[in-house]
Structure 1
Amino acid sequence: MFFIAPSLLVIGAFFFLPVAAALALSLTDFDLYALADPGTARFVGLKNYVELAGDPDFWQALRNTAYFVVVGGPLSVAVSLGAALLVSSKLTRWKGLWRTVFFAPVVTTLVAVAVVWRYLYNAEYGLLNSALGAVGIEGVDWLGDPAWAMPAIIGLAVWKNFGYNMIIFVAGLAGVPEELYEAAELDGAGWWARFRHITVPELAPTFLFVGVITMIGYFQLFAEPYVMTEGGPLRATVSVVYLMYEEGFKWWNLGYASAVAFVLFALMMVGTLIQLRLQRSDP
C-alpha cells in the first residue's frame, strides 16, 4: 500500500474526483450563470435525467450512435481480423511493411484525414463518385444526404481505426499453436474449416477484448461528425457525445450535459456486461 499510494492518489485526484464532481453536477441546474456565481446553482435531483428521457434530440442522437456502433463496430472488427490474417499469412511478403501501412491511419491526425476524405466524398468532383460514374452508377451526395452521411462517417472511422485492432489480432494469431493447423490439414480440413474450428475459438479472448474496446470507442463518437459534418445534415450525424458537447460548451447547460455523460456511461457499462456474459456462456 505504501508503494502504490502515490498512484492511487493521482488516480483519485484526476479521475475519481472529477467523475464524482460530474455526477454531482448532473443533479444541479449548473449553467452559464452559475459559472459566474456557483452559488446560483440549484439542486434539482433527477430533473435533468427526466428531461433527457423526453428530449427528442437525445433520442435522435442515441439512434445515430446506436447505428454507428451496431454497423461500424462489427465492420471494424471484421476488417481488422481480415487485415491481421493477411499480414500473418505465410504467403504474404514484406509483412512489416504491410503492418506499417495498415497502422498508419491510426496515428494520422484526424483533421488531415478528414480534409482528404471530404474531397473523396465531394458530390461534384470527388474520387468516389467519379469511380461510381465510371461503372454507370449515379453519384451520391455523401455528406449532404441524411441517408448517406452516417454510412460515410462509418467508412472513415473504420479506415481510421482498424489498424489498432489489427495489431491486437496479429498478436492473438501468433499465440495459436501451429500444430493445430497441421493436424487439421492432415485430417483434410480446408481453409474455412480451420478458420472456423481453430482460429475463431483460439481468438475468443482477443475477440472479447477487441469487441469491448471497439464498442466503448464507437459509443464515444464525436470527432468524425464534428470535423466532417458538424452534426448535419438535419442532425443525421449528431451523436450522444456531440449532443453533450453542444449542451455543455455551446449552450453552457453543464448540469444537463453531465446527465447526458452519465447516461452514456450506463449504456457502455450495459454493453460491456452483455459482451462479458456472452463470452462466459459460450461453450
Structure 2
Amino acid sequence: MNRRESLTNLVLAGPAALALVLFIFLPVAVVFVLAFTDYQIGAPGMGWVGLDNFSKLFGSRLGRNAILNTLTYVAIVIPASVGLGLLVALGLHALARSLPRIAAILKAVYFLPVAATLVAMAVSWQMLLHPSLGLVNGWASALGLPAPLWLSDRSLVLYTLAGIGVWQTVGYNMVLFLAGLAAIQPALYDAAEVDGASRGWSRFWLVTWPMLGPTTLFVLVVTAASAFRVFETVATLTKGGPAFASDTIVYALYREGFVYFKAGYASAITVVFFIALLLLTALQVWVVERKVHYR
C-alpha cells in the first residue's frame, strides 16, 4: 500500500474512528475509572474507594431489589415478546396469502407501539390503567371482575410494567420474524411435503423453525438489550414506586447519578449493567448459535 492509498484510507476512516474513540471508548473508560471512586458531580475532588461502590450495590436492600426487579422483568419480557412476536408473524404471513390488505393493516397496528414515542405511550397506559377513571378498570367493573391498582399495588406493578414492555416489543419482533419467513425458500417446504411433513407442527418444526435460527438469535439479543435497559415506562408511570417495588437497575442509575449526583456509585451501577448485559448476550449466542443453521 503506497502513501497515497494510506492517506486516502486515513481521510475516509479517520473521522469515524476518531468519533468512535471520543464518544464511545473514552466515555466507557471514564465510567470504569469513576466506578472505583466516590466522585460526586460538582465536588472539587474525589477519592479512591476501590470496590466499595460495588459492595454498596450488592449489599444494600435497594441495590439488590433493583437487580432482582430487573431480572424478573427480563425473565418475563424476553420469552413472552419473542414467542408472541413469532406467533403473530406466523399468523400474518399465512394471512397475507389470502387477504393481503387486511394483513398489511394488522402489521401496521402491531408495529404502532414501536413507531410511537415511548413516553407518549406510557402516558396513554397511565390513563388506561387509572384506578377509577381508566378504561381497563371500567371494563373490569362492567364485567363484574375486580379492579386492581395496576400501578400502585406493590405485588402487581412490576408485572404490569412487564406487560407493557411485551406490548411495546412484540411489533418489532414480528417485523424481524416476517423478514425471516419471507427468506425461506418454498422448495424446502416442497421437499418436506415429500417426506411427509405437509402441514401443521411437523412443517414448522422441520423447516420453519430451523431456518429462522439466525433471525431468532438476533431477536433474542435485541430483546434482551431492550428489556435490560427499561427506563421510560418506569420513569413515567411509577418512578420506581410504590416503595421501590418497580425500581430497576437503569432507573437506579438515573436516580443516583442525576438526582443525587453520586457519579461514582452511578458509574458502578453502569459497569454492573454492562457486564450483565454482555454475559447474557454471550450466553444467548453460545446456547442458540450451536443450533442455528446459516444459509
User: Which bin holds the TM-score, normalised by the shorter protein?
Assistant: over 0.9
**1:130 aligned onto 2:135:** no
Of 82, 87, 96, the residue aligned with 1:82 is: 87
1:93 aligned residue (95, 100, 108):
100
- The equivalent residue for 2:252 is 243
Secondary structure of 2:156's aligned partner: helix
8 Å CA contact 2:78–2:227 kept in 1: the answer is yes
Using the alignment, how far apart are the partners of 2:288 and 2:123 within structure 1?
A: 39
Q: Report the CA distance between 1:36 and its aligned residue.
A: 4.4
| TM-score, normalisation: structure 1 | 0.93
- For structure 1, the residue ranges without an aligned partner over 5 or more in a row are none
Shift of 1:268: 0.6
Q: How far apart, CA to CA, are the structure 2 residues paired with 1:92 and 1:266? A: 46
Amino acid at match of 1:74: P
* SS of residue matched to 1:138: coil
Q: What letter is aligned with 2:154?
A: P
Identify the residue that residue 183 of structure 1 maps to in structure 2: 191
Question: Distance in 1 between the 2:99 and 2:43 partners?
Answer: 62
CA distance in 1, matches of 2:99, 2:264: 54
**1:115 is the counterpart of 2:123:** yes
Q: Does 1:171 align with 2:179?
A: yes
Once the two structures are overlaid, the 10-residue window that deviates more, 244-253 or 108-117, is: 108-117
Structure 1 partner of 2:150:
142
- Please report how far the alpha carbon of residue 161 of structure 1 lies from its aligned counterpart in structure 2 after TM superposition: 2.4
Cα deviation digits, residues 220-273 of structure 1 (max 9, x gap)? 111111101111112111000011111111111110000000001111111011
Query: Residue in 2 aligned with 1:50?
Result: 55
Q: Deviations over 1:63-108 (max 9, x none)?
A: 1101110011111111211222222212342133322222121121
Pick from 203, 221, 238 the counterpart of residue 230 of structure 2. Answer: 221
After TM superposition, the runs of 4+ consecutive aligned structure 1 residues lying more than 6 A away are none
Q: CA deviation at 1:29?
A: 0.6
Cα distance in structure 2, aligned partners of 1:141 and 1:208: 37
What are structure 2's unaligned runs of at least 5 residues?
A: 1-8
Q: CA deviation at 1:19?
A: 0.6
Instruction: Give yes or no for the alignment of 1:64 onto 2:69.
Output: yes
Residue 67 of structure 2 aligns with an amino acid whose one-letter code is: L
The 10-residue stretch of structure 1 (104-113 or 205-214) with the greater mean CA deviation from structure 2: 104-113
- Provide the rounded CA distance (Å) in 1 between the counterparts of 2:239 and 2:58: 24
How far does the alpha carbon of each residue in 1:116-174 deviate from its partner, in whole angstroms, 9 at most, with x for none?
A: 21122122232222333333321111111111111111121222222222211111111
Which SS does the other structure have where 1:146 is aligned? coil
Matched, 1:103 2:111: yes
- Would you say the 8 A contact 1:86–1:92 is kept in 2? no
TM-score (norm 2): 0.89
- Partner Cα separation in structure 2 for residue 181 and residue 36 of structure 1: 66
Which residue in 2 is equivalent to 1:232?
A: 241
How large is the RMSD of aligned CA atoms in angstroms?
A: 1.7
Counterpart of 2:164 (choices 148, 156, 161) is 156
Superposed displacement of residue 195, structure 1 = 1.5
Q: Deviations over 1:199-226 (max 9, x none)?
A: 1111111111110111011111111111
Q: Cα distance 1:280–1:108, how it changes in 2: closer, same or farther (>3 A)?
A: closer
Q: How many residues align?
A: 279
8 A contact 2:81–2:166 mirrored in 1: yes
Q: Which region of structure 1 is more displaced relative to structure 2, 198-207 or 46-55? A: 46-55
**More divergent stretch after superposition (179-188 vs 100-109):** 179-188
